[in-house]
Amino acid sequence: MADILVDSNVILDVFEDDPNWCEWSIRMLEQYGKSNRLIINPIVYTEISIGFEQIQELDKALFQGGLTMLEVPKEALFLAGKAFLEYRRKKGTKVSPLPDFFIGAHAAVAKTKLLTRDTKRIGSYFPTVELLSPAM
């Protein structure tokens, strides 16, 4: 059973019943969840927590969705910093690393596929990550 890292945008599509993406996201989670372990990391957890009043509610929703949280390895944190440095050298305007850098680096280091709708930045800075996205 392989791991697939799930980006926050896919989970938020479902939690927020996004009119454009909810159906696609549910279908992908069901499809990939049948034969893979769907994982998130603390960055994704943080991003999706905004819609919940209680931590127990979020944890229950993740459990019901078959999502498991793993810590980000320090090698991925290091890689995220290097990707951010490259972003800044390319005249990026943000002054601190973006969540996408942590998520992409985690997938790269763990050698997992990434289920996401946000392919541009991750595809640019983490070309070894196989993206599962609508643009496939």
Q: Where are the domains of the chain?
A: 8-132
Token output for 123? 């595809």
- Taking the C-alpha atoms of residue 66 and residue 34, their distance in angstroms, rounded to an integer, is 10
- Taking the C-alpha atoms of residue 133 and residue 28, their distance in angstroms, rounded to an integer, is 9
Where is 39: in which H helix or E strand? strand 36-40
Q: What is the pLDDT of residues 75-112, one digit of tens each?
A: 999 999 999 999 999 988 988 888 999 999 999 999 99
Q: What is the pLDDT of residues 29-85, one digit of tens each?
A: 999 999 999 999 999 999 999 999 999 999 999 999 999 999 999 999 999 999 999
8-132 CATH fold:
Rossmann fold (3.40.50)
